[in-house]
Structure 1
Amino acid sequence: MSPSEERAESSDHFASAMEAVRPDRGLCVPQLREAVTRMEEGRLPAAEKLTQQFLAAHPRNIEGLQLMAEIATRLEDHVRAEALLARCLEIQPDSVPVRFAYANALLRVSNPAAARDQMEWLLARDPCNPVFRVLKPLVLEALGEFPEAVECWCELTKEYPSRVDCLLRYGYALRTVGARDECMRAFRKVIALAPSSGEAYWALANLKTFRFEDAAVAAIEAQLAGQHLEAASRVQMHFTLGKAYGDRQLYAESFGHYAKGNALQRMGLGHDPEIANSYVARCKSIFSSEFFEQRAGWGCQSGGPIFIVGMLRSGSTLVEQILASHSQVEGTRELFELAAIARELQNRLTRAGNGYPAALAEAEAGVFRDFGEMYLERVKPHRKLGRAFFTDKMGANYAYTGLLQLALPNAKIVDVRRHPLACGWSNFTQLFAKGQNFAYRLSDIGRLYRDYVELMAHFDRVLPGKVHRVFYERLVTNPQAEVRALLNYLGLPFEESCLSFHKTARAVTTISSEQVRRPIYSEALDGWRAYEPWLGSLKTALGPVLDAYPEAPAFP
């Protein structure tokens, strides 16, 4: 069989499998058909309103409930989508499309243990279905079972060697477990099969230590010169060339490609910097010293979690790897559970009309105890080693510092901070998998960094000693002193293994996975300086935060 015939057969097999799990949108019902049309046109509120009207008259209609779940998913209201699909399963427990959609919804709300149950049901029903077989490693990855996921992807790529999507996922999984050479081979195979795959080129660039040959740079330039490149691939190739020209010290060309890639990426993305600024102001008005004193002793009293927070690209993966090298600490990953449960809590508390975080002032002690216990229960699947402490490296959890003090008052919070220009530039050069809409404009990055510093400075005042701060530059230049101070804050004895963190074998899912498998190095400290002529808008947005670093300026 020729490669083209092989690809066609593979595509047909997957297409028929996808058809089997495609939900019935109720196109025979005029009202639902109109709702689907509006949804596909991007008019989601209108589609939602029509579907709600239909469900008011037909509350147990499966097609209507599934359509509402799909609309909720597109609106990124994943909690509501999961609840709607759970209702569908109650009505039609044997529906394969509903169960498949429900499994994916459970992954989106960070409940991989429940998603595994659905995945196993589907595979028991049809063990050869390639769509269900793809779902399996996705669930395993969400559970942190990366070696098992690698095996699944390996089997799929052998059976479907021309499936670019499976090869890409296989490459990402190999990277996570540190199999760098095999990972690069997978991505190179994607490029051979699909030369216009910007994702494969960016995946190689995102290894950070990878260097592109001149022939590869020329091939990418040729692709960009074409008229039919997909929008996502065009963005990815600009970011890739930004990295490639930066490695060649051609900084003007490098910045030009980063600027083009960022400009294209932020098209259609909504980001309002005032939202974060307003949130900080609301937190400062609610979370006072008196507020916490009145609620002393509340929450779940477990001291196991160590939350590593801060801006993206601040050095948090390095701190996590150092802690994971301690005999009493288990390193997990960026866990989505806290944010998912916080959204559920916010939805529940704000129904009475109070906004968040103001609604926390009205909540009883039991609400926060339940929150803490639910978090610990949800993260159990990620804890494999039975150690007393574990890390949660979701950096954006800094926004929940006040909530954590109420729900898990004995948990530790480690705030990792990097020079604002180094951190800001690193964000601008990174094409994130999803979200992080702030990262594609230098001024937006600067404003968010400033808001983050202001929020954490507030908690330093009202909860003195609660948060331990690690400055990346100090950690890199004087690791022993900084590691000792960090372990002292955590109440843990010093262990030499923490300084040999690069020898610790574990899965690392973040962008910095390659860097933390090397000893501490200082090259990243001043990489931004070559681009300083183009960082004016970042400096302006940072304002006094830049001048005061590493201290925080006086905020109103």
Structure 2
Amino acid sequence: MEELDKLLATDGHNPNYHVLKAASYVRLGQFEPAIEIYESLLDDAPHQPRVYLSYGHALKTVGRQAEAIAAYRKAVEQAPELGEAYWSLANLKTVTLSDDEVMAMEAALKRPALTPEDAAQLSFALAKALEDRQEYDRAFKHYAEGNEVRRRQSAYSGDEQTAKTERSIGFFDSGFFGARKGWGADAPDPIFIVGLPRAGSTLLEQILASHSMVEGTQELPEVISLSRRLGGKKHPSDRSLYPDMLADLGAGDIRALGEEYIDRTRRYRTGTPFFIDKMPNNFEHIGLIHLMLPNAKIIDARRHPLACCFSGFKQYFARGQRFSYSLSDIGGYYRNYVALMEHFDAVLPGRVHRVQYETLVEDFEAEVRRLLDYCGLPFEPGCLEFYKNDRAVKTASSEQVRQPVFKDAVDHWRNFLPHLDPLMHALGPEVLARYPADGSGGGGSD
């Protein structure tokens, strides 16, 4: 931001500098000044579909849904092949795309000059529109096509993920933690919500962020960034030194890591006693989190494997989550996640609080009270009325958490059951056996 101010001082009419400044505000969670910049840019030059797109994203995040929809549709009007604009409309989860918009997406997908990103986003958006029309076979076809485009762009290896999981299970044993009891920074501030995307983590975040003592931030990259630095990889083919190198660190080193995390996350906070880090992939780093921040809270957002995995398969992720572009990959990833969480339940009993999504929507108040008790927070009625909280929400569930809890989406995956054999095979009978056929949480909610 400081560098941009220097550039603007020398060339205040350069629109690229203003776009960058607005994007920087967004990254810092300061959406109102970003919205003002986008509005000024569009007043000066109305034909800017990508600025309309960014404007729509910022409006959506702060809950101005009608204006966001108008901005997205303006982007579509100005750039009919802009897949991100269609997907942004579909990704609101509360908008029904019109017949004309469906026809326009179908026509755009036939054009040979589409970029892979536009092709994938158009496919995901069209699939969502067809699902809303209960045309499930056609919808699955387009979900699969969009995922295949994304899969070809990624370099995900399920075997590498399994090996990484097994390495963590072998390293983080009870003896390792016992020898380092009392290490780490004392800060009790962080509340980590981990799990898989689309497992209900945004709902949990919104519930907790509706408490007067808790602030919601976003999916923070700091833990993953620390783990990568500790791994010391210079090239993608190098073997990471993490987590094994943690065995060579002393108490002071571990405390410094915790203090660094607290220091680096201050930029996202405004002063409440507790804050939420909702990066779902942090479940891979529970060992590191417990070691460097022994007083932090860790919440596992768990959802029925078929519901969670297929919801992830239907989601176009702008970045990361490379495992989600194949039913087999996402099933294997979920299986590894369950194995790793079971391991930490065994070596750190009671350390992680699990919330089963299906149980939460069925017995909402009781589960919210359990959650607050685990976090050491007094009950506040506002947590039950989380949908009245007007905080900015950046994830794909932003519009859903502005409504009361509803049960309609729990079983949506059943409409696609004929297509889910690869997913069920990858999950394996051991994982699926824990979840009754009615989709309830079974024993997984303990």
TM bracket (short chain)? over 0.9
In structure 2, list runs of 5 or more residues that go unmatched: 436-440
Q: Who is 1:372 aligned against? A: 258
Q: Aligned partners of 1:346, 1:134: CA distance in 2, in Å?
A: 35
Q: Aligned partners of 2:76, 2:220: CA distance in 1, in Å?
A: 31
Q: Aligned partners of 1:520, 1:327: CA distance in 2, in Å?
A: 21
What is the CA-CA distance between 1:427 and the residue it aligns to? 0.7
2:10 equivalent to 1:140: no
What is the CA-CA distance between 1:496 and the residue it aligns to? 0.8
Q: Who is 1:300 aligned against? A: 185
5 Å-filtered alignment, 1:473-484, equals: 473-484=358-369
In structure 1, list runs of 5 or more residues that go unmatched: 1-115
Task: Say which SS state the counterpart of residue 513 (structure 1) adopts.
Answer: coil
Match of 1:451 among 336, 344, 351: 336
Alpha carbons 1:368, 1:407 under 8 Å: kept: yes
Q: Who is 2:140 aligned against? A: 255
Alpha carbons 2:231, 2:240 under 8 Å: kept: no
CA distance change for structure 1 residues 219 and 353 in 2, over 3 Å: closer, same or farther? closer
Alpha carbons 1:457, 1:552 under 8 Å: kept: no
Q: Who is 1:507 aligned against? A: 392
Letter in 2 for 1:379: T
Q: Aligned partners of 1:485, 1:133: CA distance in 2, in Å?
A: 46
Q: Who is 2:351 aligned against? A: 466
Q: Who is 1:541 aligned against? A: 426
Letter in 2 for 1:380: R
1:152-204 per-position Cα deviation (integer Å, ceiling 9, x unaligned): 22212222321222111111011000111110111111111111111111110
Q: Who is 1:520 aligned against? A: 405
Q: Which has the higher contact order (CA 8 A, sep 6+)?
A: 2
Task: Say which SS state the counterpart of residue 385 (structure 2) adopts.
Answer: helix
Q: Aligned partners of 2:134, 2:418: CA distance in 1, in Å?
A: 14
Q: Aligned partners of 2:61, 2:156: CA distance in 1, in Å?
A: 30
CA distance change for structure 1 residues 398 and 552 in 2, over 3 Å: closer, same or farther? farther
What is the CA-CA distance between 1:129 and the residue it aligns to? 2.2
5 Å-filtered alignment, 1:185-334, equals: 185-334=70-219
What is the CA-CA distance between 1:313 and the residue it aligns to? 0.6
Alpha carbons 1:310, 1:395 under 8 Å: kept: yes
CA distance change for structure 1 residues 392 and 353 in 2, over 3 Å: closer, same or farther? closer
1:23-63 per-position Cα deviation (integer Å, ceiling 9, x unaligned): xxxxxxxxxxxxxxxxxxxxxxxxxxxxxxxxxxxxxxxxx
Alpha carbons 1:349, 1:360 under 8 Å: kept: no
Letter in 2 for 1:179: R
TM, length-normalised to structure 1: 0.76
2:245 equivalent to 1:362: no
Bigger mean CA offset, 336-345 vs 139-148: 336-345
Match of 2:8 among 118, 123, 136: 123
Q: Aligned partners of 2:339, 2:408: CA distance in 1, in Å?
A: 29
Alpha carbons 1:316, 1:393 under 8 Å: kept: yes
Letter in 1 for 2:142: H
Identical-pair percentage: 49
Q: Aligned partners of 1:354, 1:493: CA distance in 2, in Å?
A: 42
2:280 equivalent to 1:401: no
What is the CA-CA distance between 1:355 and the residue it aligns to? 2.3
Letter in 2 for 1:363: L
What is the CA-CA distance between 1:127 and the residue it aligns to? 2.6
Letter in 2 for 1:143: L
TM, length-normalised to structure 2: 0.94
Alpha carbons 1:205, 1:211 under 8 Å: kept: yes
Letter in 1 for 2:175: E
CA distance change for structure 1 residues 430 and 306 in 2, over 3 Å: closer, same or farther? same
Letter in 1 for 2:259: E
What is the CA-CA distance between 1:552 and the residue it aligns to? 7.7
What is the CA-CA distance between 1:348 and the residue it aligns to? 8.8
Q: Who is 1:440 aligned against? A: 325
Alpha carbons 1:187, 1:200 under 8 Å: kept: yes
Letter in 2 for 1:272: S
Q: Aligned partners of 2:256, 2:43: CA distance in 1, in Å?
A: 46
1:357-391 per-position Cα deviation (integer Å, ceiling 9, x unaligned): 1111111112211111111111112112x211110
Q: Who is 2:372 aligned against? A: 487
Letter in 2 for 1:175: K
1:409-449 per-position Cα deviation (integer Å, ceiling 9, x unaligned): 10000000000000011011111101221111000000000
Task: Say which SS state the counterpart of residue 416 (structure 1) adopts.
Answer: strand
What is the CA-CA distance between 1:353 and the residue it aligns to? 8.7
Match of 2:305 among 411, 414, 420: 420
1:266-317 per-position Cα deviation (integer Å, ceiling 9, x unaligned): 1132110012111111111111111111111111110010001000110000
Bigger mean CA offset, 258-267 vs 504-513: 258-267
CA distance change for structure 1 residues 481 and 349 in 2, over 3 Å: closer, same or farther? farther
Alpha carbons 1:150, 1:170 under 8 Å: kept: yes
- What count of residue pairs does the alignment treat as equivalent? 436
Q: Aligned partners of 2:8, 2:349: CA distance in 1, in Å?
A: 52
Bigger mean CA offset, 163-172 vs 454-463: 163-172
Bigger mean CA offset, 498-507 vs 134-143: 134-143
Q: Aligned partners of 2:12, 2:179: CA distance in 1, in Å?
A: 56
Bigger mean CA offset, 245-254 vs 261-270: 261-270
Q: Aligned partners of 1:242, 1:259: CA distance in 2, in Å?
A: 9
Q: Aligned partners of 1:118, 1:285: CA distance in 2, in Å?
A: 46
Task: Say which SS state the counterpart of residue 212 (structure 1) adopts.
Answer: coil
What is the CA-CA distance between 1:349 and the residue it aligns to? 12
Greater C-alpha radius of gyration: 1
What is the CA-CA distance between 1:119 and the residue it aligns to? 2.6
Alpha carbons 1:454, 1:552 under 8 Å: kept: no
Alpha carbons 1:202, 1:236 under 8 Å: kept: yes
Alpha carbons 1:453, 1:552 under 8 Å: kept: no
